[in-house]
A = this chain, B = another copy of it.
Amino acid sequence: MEVLAALNLGDIAQIFSKMGMFPVFDLAYYIVSILYLKYEPGSVEVSRRSPVASWLCAMLYCFGSYILADIMLGHSPLDYFQHNSHILLASAVWYLIFYCPLNLFYKCVAFLPVKLVLVALKEVVRTRKIAAGVHHAHHAYHHGFFIMVIVGYVKGSGVALMSNFEQLLRGVWRPDTNEILNMSFPTKASLYGAILFTLQEAHILPVAKSTLILCFTLFMATSKVVMTARHSHGSPFALIESWDHHAAPTSPLKTKEELSEGTRKRKTKKAE
C-alpha cells in the first residue's frame, strides 16, 4: 500500500512538473505582478505622463527574472522578448490594469478571493522558474554551484533585485535600501529554493526534481496565500530567525511595510 502511495505521489509530481505554464499560469503571473506595480506610489501618474516608461516598468515586473538571468549568463537581455505572444499578453494585462474604463479590470483582479487564486498560480510559475534557472546554469557550468544558486535566485526574485533601477525609471530614487539588504519573503524563499534545487542537481539531495518542485510549490503557494489573506508581510521564516536572534519579539511589531500596506490601497484608490 505504501509503495503504491509513493508511486502515486511520484506520478502526480511528474504530471505536475510537466504541465505547461502558458497561458493560464503565465497570465496569473502577469496580473499579480502588474497589480503590485500599480500599488507602487506614483505609478498611476507615470502611466498618464509617459506610457512608454509605464510599459517598460510593467515588462520589467513581468520579465525581470528572464532579463536578469540572461544578463547573468551573458546572453542578450532582450532574448525573452522574441516570444511575441507572451509580450502581447503582458501588454494587454498592463493596458487593462492601468487604462480600463471605470478601473473595472483592476477591481476584479484585486477582489480578494480572485487575488488569492492568482497569487497561488503565480507561485507555481516562480518555483518552475527557479528550477529552470538552476537547470540552465547547470547546463552551461557543470560544476558551477555558485552560478546555479545565483541564477536560480535571480529567476525566483525577478524585478525585486533590480527595484532600485526600476524605481529610477519612474523618477524615484531610494538608495538607502535595496532588496538584498532587506529581503522580503519571496526573495528569501527564492534563495533557499535555489540552494535546494542546486543540491538536487548536484545529487546531494536524494529526491526527484519533480517531487521537489511539487513540495516547494505547495510551501510557496500556501505561505503567500496566507500572507495575502492576512495582509501580512511577516515571513514564515520569522519564527526561526527570531529564535536565531535570541527570541527578539519581531512578530507583534508592525513593520513599516505592514503599516504602509493598509494605506497603500487607499492611496491607489485615490489616485484613480
Known: A76-B72, A76-B74, A175-B172. A81 touches B180 (CB 8 A): no
Q: How far is the CA of A191 from the CA of B56 in the complex (A)?
A: 13
B175 touches A84 (CB 8 A): no
Report whether A180 and B146 are in contact in the complex, using a CB–CB cutoff of 8 Å. Answer: no
Question: A53 to B175, Cβ gap below 8 A?
Answer: no
Asked if B84 contacts A180 (CB within 8 A), the reply is: no
Structural contact, A145 and B180, CB atoms closer than 8 A: no
Asked if A87 is at the interface (CB within 8 A of a chain B CB), the reply is: yes
A168 in contact with B173 (CB, 8 Å): no
Given A73-B76, A78-B73, A176-B173, A50 and B143 contact (CB-CB distance below 8 Å): no
Q: Are B72 and A147 in contact (CB-based, < 8 A)?
A: no
| A146 & B84 in contact (Cβ 8 Å cutoff) | yes
CB neighbours (8 Å) of A56 from chain B are 180
Question: Chain B residues with Cβ under 8 A from A180's Cβ?
Answer: 50, 52-53, 56, 169
Residues of B contacting A70 in the complex (Cβ-Cβ under 8 angstroms): 74
Chain B residues within 8 Å of A87, by CB: 146
Contact with B along A136-167 (1 / 0, CB 8 A): 00001101111100110000000000001000
| Beta-carbon contact of A175 and B173 below 8 Å | yes
Chain B residue nearest in CB terms to A176: B171
Is residue A250 contacting chain B, with contact meaning CB distance below 8 A?
no
The answer to whether A181 has its CB under 8 Å from any CB of chain B is: yes
Partner of A141, one of B82, B146, B164: B82
Ranked nearest first, the 3 interchain pairs of A and B with the lowest CB-CB distance are A74-B76, A173-B175, A82-B144
Q: List 30 A-B contacts (CB under 8 A).
A: A46-B181, A49-B181, A50-B182, A50-B183, A52-B183, A52-B191, A56-B180, A71-B77, A72-B76, A72-B77, A72-B78, A73-B76, A73-B78, A74-B74, A74-B76, A76-B140, A78-B144, A78-B146, A81-B150, A82-B141, A82-B143, A84-B143, A84-B144, A84-B146, A87-B146, A169-B181, A170-B181, A171-B175, A171-B178, A173-B176
